[in-house]
Every structure is written in C-alpha cells, then in structure tokens.
Structure 1
Amino acid sequence: MSTAAANTVPWEDARRVRLMLCLFVTLITAVMLTALARQTLQDPDSWWHVRVGLDFLANRTFPTVDTYSYTFAGHPWIAKEWLGQVLMALAYRAGGWNGVVALIIASLSLTVFLMAWFFSDWLKPTLAIGLAFVVAVLISPIYTARPHIFTLPIIVVWTAWLFRAAREEQAPSLWLFPLLVLWANLHATFTLAYIIAAFAGLDFLTRTGVSKPGLLVKWIAFGLLCPVVSLLHPYGLQAILATLTVAYGNEAVPLITEWRPFNAQEHVLQEVALLMFLFGLLVSRLQVGWVKALFIIFTMHMFLTHMRFIYLFFLLVPVVLAVEVGQQYPSLSSATWMAEKRDRVEQFFARRFYPICGVIAVVLIAAVTVLGNAYQVEPRQDTSAKDALAFAESHHLSGNVLNSYNFGGTLIFHGIKTYIDGRTDQLFLSGFTKSDDDMGTSAGKPLLEAQLKKYAISWALLSAKDDRIPFFNDLGWKRAYSDEYAVIYVPGV
C-alpha cells in the first residue's frame, strides 16, 4: 500500500467523527436548556395553548368560535395550530410542565443537530458545530413553550433541501410535501414555506435559465402545489387566510411585544452579531449571487420589522451560505477536513462510535429520569398568578373578571373566562385591544369605568405593575389581595 493510500482516512470514520461532533453540540445544547428550563415557561400563552390541546383531546372537536372569553364569546375563532397544541397537551398529561419543557428542549436540540449536520456538509465539523451553537444562542429570545418551536427543525430541513436541489439542478423532492402538511398543522408560519420555495426556485432559474424546461416546469408545479398541499388542514383555507391577516398586520400587532421591531438596546448580542455578519460579508468578498443576497435582505427585513422572526435571519442565512463559504474558502471546507488524517482523539471516537452512543443514551435517560423526579418546573407567577388565583378560589370570587393581558393564559387554563388574552391574532379587535391599552394612560379612567359597567365586571386580576391600579382606587374598588406579582380588586361595599 502506498504512503498516500495509508494516510487516506476511510470515509466511514470521517462520517462517524462528524456525527459525533454534531451529537456533542446537541448534548451541550440540551444540558444548557435544561439548566434554564424555567425560562421556556415565561410566555403567558403557554397556558392557553396547553388548555386548547387538552380540550381537543377530551372533546375531539375543532373549535370554530371562541369559548374562552366572555368579551368575544361566540365570535369566529379557529385553533389553527391545533397539532402543536395537542403535542403540548400530551406532554403535559405525561409529565406536567416538566413534560412540556422536555418536549420543547427536544425540539430545540433537534434543530441544533440539524443545523450542525447541514453546516458540516460544507464546513469543517468543528466550525459547523461552533456556528450551530452560536446560532442557538442568538435565537434564544424565541425559546418559549409555544407551537412555533416545533417548526424550527422543519424550516431548517425545508430550506436546506430546497436550496440543495437548486444547486444540484434537480427537482424539489416530493417528500417535502408531507413536511409542509406537518408544518401547516403545527403553526401558522407555514406560509413562509412558499416564500422560501420561491427563493430556491429563483436560485435554480439563475443557474439553468430555460436550458432545462422539464425541470423548470417541475419547480413551478412544486411552487403552485405548496398552497394546495397546505390545505390538508382541519380548517383548510381558513388557516391560510388567518395567517395572512396577521402577516399584513392588525390593530393589535403594534401593541404586542413580540410583533414590535427589533430593539438594539434590548438585544445587544443580536445587534453585535448582525453587525459582525455585515462587516464580514463586506470585507470577505464572498460571492453569494443576487438571489441569496435578496434572501438575506428578506430575512433581515422580517427580523428587524418583527422581533418574533429573529430566527429567520440567524437560522436560515447560515444554511444557504455555508456552501458558498466552503467552496470559496477551501481551508474552511469539509472536503479539506475529510482529506486530512484523523488524529488519535478522532480515531478513538470513530472506532468506538456505537458504544459511545449507547453510553450517551443511557446517561441522558438516567439524567432525565432523575431530573423529572427531583426538580419540578412551573411557570413563573408573573404569568401564572398562582397565589392570587388560590385566594380567588378560596374566597369564592366569581363573575366576569377584568384581567391584565399576561394573566389571560392562566385564566383560560383554569377554566375562567377572560376579558382579554393572547389570541389577538383573531380576537379582541375592532378597537378592543387598543382600548385596553389606552386604559393604562393618564386619560384611561373613564374608559376603565365604562368597561366595568359594560361587562358587569365582578372582580379584577391585575399584574402588580398594571397602570390601571390607581384608577381602581379612585373608583372606590377595594384591594382584596396583593403580592409582588398580582393584585386582586373587588367592588367597594
């Protein structure tokens, strides 16, 4: 055997090392997310998503009107993210909030693994896993127990496979259609799939022009079929229309934190990463082509316009640019790494791949079991109002409650009809949400007084920092309960 042949590393060993590194960064991500498990329950909407899922499991019916509030009871409302809500409900049934958190962590960890795997198609695995970990940190503001988390692995696969098909001048895989159906039933962001497919199709067109008309027809057919396939949803066209309504904005959008524009003062890390990316792109002379440049601009626009879409930029731009970096900078490419001789550490992991994977699996199962029994997570009281609701129950408070926005989810979960809650994509419109926001202004007392009479409010559950608290005092209401998270008011005697 020649010296060159002796130094050639078997492809299988390199693949195993690459897989081990991807699993390693996934494990690190899972451990860190577990340490910060309670943070994933910071969103008040987690409560009502679980309740909707539980109600579906109990009734096996898809809601068409609102039954969770008294202010908009009977108004059209659909659970367009029903499958994500059912998954959360099943996890809750299995393990309470620990089960919900475990499911969210599993989805996020899978996302990190997929990022590392796709990045390492073109970049050195060490660089790929480092990049995947950085991206995981940058998109952490959206790590909440809500159905959108389940779509993150899907959007990574969808984007990677479509741009790969365009690059290799092939037709899109038909296996992407079941993925789209799953996405459509998990979360309302599935219409983004159409836009991503359009960019990938443009990338294919710039490579081939009209020299391959048969393939071009297949790409066009794929794009046209995407909306048709996503109609495989209990609500059909209603789900698409509801999504588009929010995408174009409604009166509540400017008032909801996650829909507000990116604020650099609140997200310094993301601003630094964005500026570093732009600096690197300008000085590196990386050739990305006009289609991918337009894709970068689109994802950046979505991120800067609505903070909730931060992941579109940080998650997808590396997916589409990894191939360009690998091809134009060979020293960073996976091909260069594959040609190198494995060191002793890499050989150790490659040759003991299966035993190591088995040990990792056993350790993870044992750790999850111990953690589940020893450490119980639950939402914080600034969204749960746990003690305040216990007081309300013990003192038999009943009737219509005027609640702060962040307590809407927990009220739904506990079977108490809300004044307002997080379903402002479809409800609490026609000036209602704006009026609720205006009640906290200096001129809000007359508005509050009018709403108390209009809806025959019997008690109020407010966050401790609610701006309407002084007005309740002025109107003669009695503070029946208070803690550092919540205040309860009842009419004065």
Structure 2
Amino acid sequence: MSLTAAPAPVPVDAVEPSSAEGQRGEGADAADANDAATDELRANLRERLAMSPLHLMLLALGCVLFMYHNYMPLFHSDLWGHVAYGDWILRHGRLPSEEPFVPLAAGVPVIDTAWLGQIVLAGTERLGGPEGLGHLFALTALGTYLVLVGTFYHQTRRIGVAVLAAMVVLGIGWSRHAILRPECFGSLCFALTIAVVAWADVRSDRRAERAAASAIDRGFPWWVWLAVPVLFALWANLHGSFIVGVALLACYAAGRGWEVVWETGDVLRVFRDRTFLRWTGVTELAVAGTLVNPLGMDLLLQTVLFPSHPNLKDIVEWYPLKMVSLEGIPMAASWVLTAFLLRHSRRRMTAADVFVLLLFNTAVCLRVRMIAWYGPAMMLVLAPHLADVCEQVAGWNAWSHFQEAFAVLRARSFRITLFAGLLLWLTFAFSPISRPFLGGRARADDQLYSADTPLGVTAYLREHPPQGMVLAPQWWGDWLVWKGPPGIQVLVTTNSVHVVPNTVWKDYLAMAGGLAGLERRLNHYRVNTIVVGKKLQQDLLRVVEQLAGWEVVYEDEVGLVAVRKPRTAVDDAGLAVDPSPTATAETPDALDFSRAVESPDAPDSQTPASEVQP
C-alpha cells in the first residue's frame, strides 16, 4: 500500500485578492470604454455642430435674402385683387361663379385657379395686416430657396456649389421676384417637385457608396409615391402653375422612353422598362392629384387653355421673349452658362435632361413669364455639371495654391457656430417679422407699399366716393377695389383681364392710351371719374388736362383724379333744362351691359398693341 501526499490546501485569503483585482480590472476597463465612447460621441457631436467661416458666409447670404424680402414694399398690382378674391370667398363661403368686382364682366363665368392661395393671402391680411403679407412673402421666398439649396446639395454634395446654383436661379428670375402673389406658392411647390425628382433620380446621388451601386435597380423611395399626389393636390388649389410640375415629370418619363427605344430599337420594350413605368406612374399620380379640387376637370382644362385668351396678348408678361429686356438678358446669360458647363463637364447628359431644357427654353421664348419656372428646371439639370466643373478647377495647381491661402475659411470651430446663432438672432431682431414679438413701430405707408401705389388718390376717393364707372389703370384697379371706397366700379382690373369681353378690353386700351375718341368712349361706358397714373400714362394725362367738360379735382406726384363737371343746358328762353342723355353719365344701376360692351361706332376704335403693365 503506497501513500501519496495530498496537495496542500490553498488558503482562501491567497485567492481572493487576485480575484478581486481581476474584477476591479474588468470594471476599470469597462469604465474606460464608456468614457471613450462618451468622448467619441462628444467629439462627433461637436464636429457636427462646428461650422467654418465659409458656412457663416453662406448663412449670411440667406439672412440677407430673408431681410431683403421682408423689407420689400408690397406691390400695387394684382396682389390686392387676390386678397380681395380671398376675402370674398371667406365672407361668402364659396367660390365666385362670376367676376365679383368688375360690372362690365357681369355674367361671364369665372374659374378661380388660385382660390386656396387667395384665401391664404386674405387670411394673412386679416390676422397681420399688410405687414403680415410681408412676413408671408419673406418666409415663402426663404423656404423656396432653402428647398432648392437642399436639392442641389443632394445632387452635388458641395454646399458652396448648391448655394451658387440657387443664386443663379435667383438671378435668372430676378424680373419676377419682387411681387407677392399666389405664384409664390406655386414656386415653392415647384421647388418641392424638383426635390422629389432629384431624390427619385439615381443619377443625382453622388455619394461614393451609392455611385458604386448605381447599376442596381433600387426603384424610387417609398415616400415619393405618397408625396407626389399630395403635393400636386395642394399645388392645384394654390395656383394654376401646377401644369409646369406635371410637364417636368412628363419630361423624365418621355426621356426614359426615348433612351429605351434608342438603345434597343424596340418600341414595345418601353412598356416593360421599370424606370419608364415608374416615371409614368408618378406623372399619372400628379395628374390625379390635381383633380382633387372644387372645380374638378374644369381646372385642368382652364389651365391648359388660359394662355390662348386673346386679351393676354396685350399684357407684357405674356409677350414672346425679347432679347433686349429684363428677361432677355438673363436668358442669354443662361444659354452661355449652359454651353460652357456642357462643354467642359464630364458627366453624361440624358434624354430627360435634353427634354427639360428644350421644353422650358421654348416656353420662355413663347411667353416671358415662364422664366420663373425656367431657372429652377435649368439648374436641376446643370447642378451636377456645375459641380463637376468645379471639381476640375479645384484640381488645377494654381487653384490649389489659392485653396491653401484661404484654408482658414474651411477650419471648423464651435465658436463659429455660436456666431451663426447670433447672426440668426440679429436677422430676426432687425427684420419687421420680429415686431409682433419684440415690439416696435410699424412701417409707414410709404415704406410698406411700393412707390407707385396711389395712396393719395385712394385717400381722396375714399373721402369723395365716385358715382358711376371709374376709368383707372388696370394695374391700379385691384388696389382700388381692395383699398378704395366700398362698391367702387372700375372698368378693368388685372385679375379681370381674361374675363372682360375683348371689345371692352380693346376700348379700355384706347382710353388708357389717350387715343382719339376718348370722350365718346367715356360717354359710352358712363364713366364719371378718371384716374391717371402719371408714370405710365403720359399721353392720357395730357388729354385729360385739356378735356372739355372735365375737372381735375386731385393731383399728386403719382396720380391724378378728374371728374365730370356738372352740366346744365339752357334753352332759347334762358330756362334750365335737363342735359342731353348722351352727354350725361348714368349710375351703375342704370348701366345696360349689353349696350356697354358694344364698341363705339367709330373708325378710331381699333387699338394698336399696347404694353400694359401686368
């Protein structure tokens, strides 16, 4: 029997210290890991919030843009007609079926294509007065350009290029940027449509990991199918420009179809192409969304047929493009920019890009007012090419030295972020939009309204309400309807140009131009009061000052008011008798519309084409 020595027992106190030390080590490691993660989170958060001086400069541009629009005087033209329409809708709880403010358009059906935009304007005016309209203008303009900057940044991944592209859009549409009207809401909707197109188009995503997978058919983001019908349903009720958005989507569908036919030579293959079917489906959803309105299909038909109205041929913004004009010069510059970018860019042009440029260029050439939609559509196509050209320039040796010299502009710091917050606060504090919150004096009328607004004329007419018809400039008619004496009867307003009969419109142009036969036309339309805009009606001003039987009762640097003199005929016996009916203006109640719309029987009633302010 052998005996084996048992191992000596290990003391407990000899084990516990090492075990406890291990546990403490593990806890310390975990704490260090948590601290490291926290530090990393702080670093990432700090890096995200940190801004560079370049970012601050771009933010300053946005602040200047907002303040510029917030201080912009309200224009004296069709804005007030839209406010009056919106107020009428709110008071009556329905859309007007005929023109409510112009008696010579009585009985002519009206299809109000901007009723929701007019309600927004009227509601804003009720809540905030004219200052509220200025705030709405600034916010809408800022929102439009922020959406465009975000879209161009998505396409290029360069904030400087995105801001530059948005500034190009502003420069091209400069001639139409200064007036608040429902079209501003349409511009915002168009910017949102462009954003949807950019996110749906796989070519617009320039991130490396997406570019590597660009050949994979990933389809549209799911939200596109929801956003498009909702957006176009809203747009169709805000303003009739929704047809421009439908045309943009149709260009992408047609462009993809053209590419498939060109590549395969098989027309039927188009209807099996997934990308073509997606763009077609989105376009159909947009059209379906526009039908969600109180007018149904009539709205779509009216929008398509509206530009063919004969009265619009005399309105400046419906003229064809003239190169020596406020629209022609930026259009020529845009063509030079397009040629330069397409010549030097390495990116591919698609058929959809070509269709978009052709369609919107043609639209501007036919109607200059389309320049408001041309700029955003053009930069949707050209923003990636602009980014590519900028990348090539950045690779030049001379440019690299320039970048080194100005590297400080790209250095990020949280202090710059604090300065950015201060800049935003100062922009708010020094803008009129802050006065309801911070207090302060409201702007005077001469600062709130444009210089050509007939404030003095309006004050006189309110103190001396005119009896009978009023011949006033068409571009002042909307203002007088809204701010003038209640029930004023003007011949024509900007919003009624497409409603009044063509004969009435031509006679108005003849009277507004001071052509021969003025007195006969004044008698024919029972006009008792003439309002003259001195800046644009010099010919009429000279005629009215010498017109027999009329008296100038008010005049200032902006306008003039003339009324008929009281006329008393005297017979051979020296007894007073009633004046001749043909020489006496009748009240609106006695006006016979069927007779009034018949042009005076005179050879000089033919009116030459006149440039009428929109």
Does 181-190 or 166-175 show the bigger shift?
Answer: 166-175
The offset of 1:105, in angstroms, is 1.3
Q: C-alpha displacement at 1:343, in angstroms?
A: 6.5
The residue number in structure 2 matching 1:111 is 144
Match of 1:363 in 2: 426
Distance change >3 Å, CA 468–CA 189, structure 1 → 2 = same
Q: Which residue of structure 2 aligns with residue 430 of structure 1?
A: 502
Which residue does 2:194 correspond to in 1? Answer: 159
Structure 1 length normalisation: TM-score? 0.84
1:414-429 matches, cutoff 5 A: 414=483, 415=486, 416-424=488-496, 426-429=498-501
- 8 Å Cα contact 2:50-2:412 kept in structure 1: no
Distance 1:72 1:346, change over 3 A: same
Alpha carbons of structure 1 residues 432 and 16: separation in structure 2 relative to 1, 3 Å: farther
Question: What is residue 303 of structure 1 aligned with on the other side?
Answer: 364
TM-score, length-scaled by structure 2? 0.69
Q: 2:163 aligns with which of 113, 125, 129?
A: 129
Counterpart CA distance in 2 for 1:153 and 1:451 is: 43
Per mean C-alpha deviation after superposition, the further-off stretch among 184-193 and 206-215 is: 206-215
Q: 1:449 aligns to what? A: 519
8 A Cα contact 1:70 1:419, kept in partner = yes
Contact 1:115 1:156 in 2 (8 A): yes
Name stretches of at least 5 consecutive residues in structure 2 with no aligned partner: 1-39, 204-216, 262-268, 395-402, 567-614
1:263 paired with 2:322, answer yes
Shift in Å, 1:68: 0.4
User: What CA distance in whole angstroms lies between the structure 1 residues aligned with 2:143 and 2:324?
Assistant: 31
In structure 2, which of residues 261, 264, 284 is the aligned counterpart of residue 224 of structure 1? 284
Counterpart for residue 374 of structure 1? 441
Mapping 1:59-70, distance limit 5 Å: 59-70=92-103
Cα separation, 2, equivalents of 1:92 and 1:215: 45
Deviation per CA, 1:147-189: give whole Å up to 9, x if none.
1011222212212322542436634533111111111111111
> Structure 1: which amino acid aligns with 2:130?
W
- Is contact 2:454–2:559 with CA below 8 Å preserved after alignment? yes
Aligned residues: 473
CA RMSD of aligned residues (A): 3.4
Secondary structure of the residue aligned to 2:361 is: helix
Deviation at 1:409, TM superposition (A): 0.8
Q: Residue 85 of structure 1 aligns with which residue?
A: 118
Residue 190 of structure 1: how far off its partner (Å) = 0.7
Judge which range, 402-411 or 261-270, deviates more: 261-270
Distance 1:10 1:199 in 2: 42
Once residues 221 and 122 of structure 1 are traced to their aligned partners in structure 2, the CA distance between those partners, rounded to angstroms, is 23
The percent identity for this pair of structures is 19
CA spacing shift, 1:102–1:253, aligned 2, 3 Å: same
User: Contact 1:119 / 1:322 at 8 angstroms: preserved in 2?
Assistant: yes
User: Aligned partners of 2:48, 2:329: CA distance in 1, in Å?
Assistant: 34
Asked if structure 1 preserves the Cα contact closer than 8 Å seen for 2:147 and 2:195, the reply is no
Task: Sort the Cα spacing of 1:13 and 1:73 in 2 relative to 1 into closer, same or farther, 3 A.
Answer: farther
Between the aligned partners of 1:481 and 1:199, the Cα distance in structure 2 is 55
Task: Name the counterpart of 1:177.
Answer: 229
After superposition, give the CA deviation of every residue in 1:431-464 in whole Å (9 maximum; x if it has no partner): 322222233557x332x33432333222122212
- Following the alignment from structure 2 to structure 1, what is the Cα–Cα distance between the partners of residues 373 and 435? 32
Could you tell me how far 1:477 is from its partner in structure 2? 1.7
CA distance in 2, matches of 1:85, 1:332: 47
**Offset at residue 280 of structure 1 (A):** 0.9
The residue aligned with 2:173 is 139
Q: Which structure has the larger Rg?
A: 2
The partner residue of 1:491 within 555, 564, 569 is 564
Residue 412 of structure 1 is matched in structure 2 by 481
Distance 2:385 2:199 in 1: 12
Q: In structure 2, what is the equivalent of residue 315 of structure 1?
A: 376
Q: Which residue of 2 aligns with 1:337?
A: none
Among 17, 26, 34, which residue is 2:62 paired with?
26
- Of 228-237 and 266-275, deviating more is 266-275
Q: Offset at 1:111?
A: 1.6
- Whether contact under 8 Å (1:398, 1:458) holds in the other structure is yes
**Shift in CA distance, 112/24, structure 1 to aligned 2, threshold 3 Å:** farther
Matched position secondary structure for 2:364: helix
Shift of 1:75: 2.0
Q: Against the structure 1 CA distance between its residues 315 and 349, is the aligned structure 2 distance closer, same or farther, given a 3 Å change threshold?
A: farther
For residue 225 of structure 1, give the secondary structure of its aligned residue in structure 2. helix
Which letter maps to 1:410?
W
Distance 2:159 2:393 in 1: 9
Say if 1:184 and 1:230, in contact at 8 Å, map to a contact too.
yes
> 423-432 vs 344-353, which deviates more?
344-353
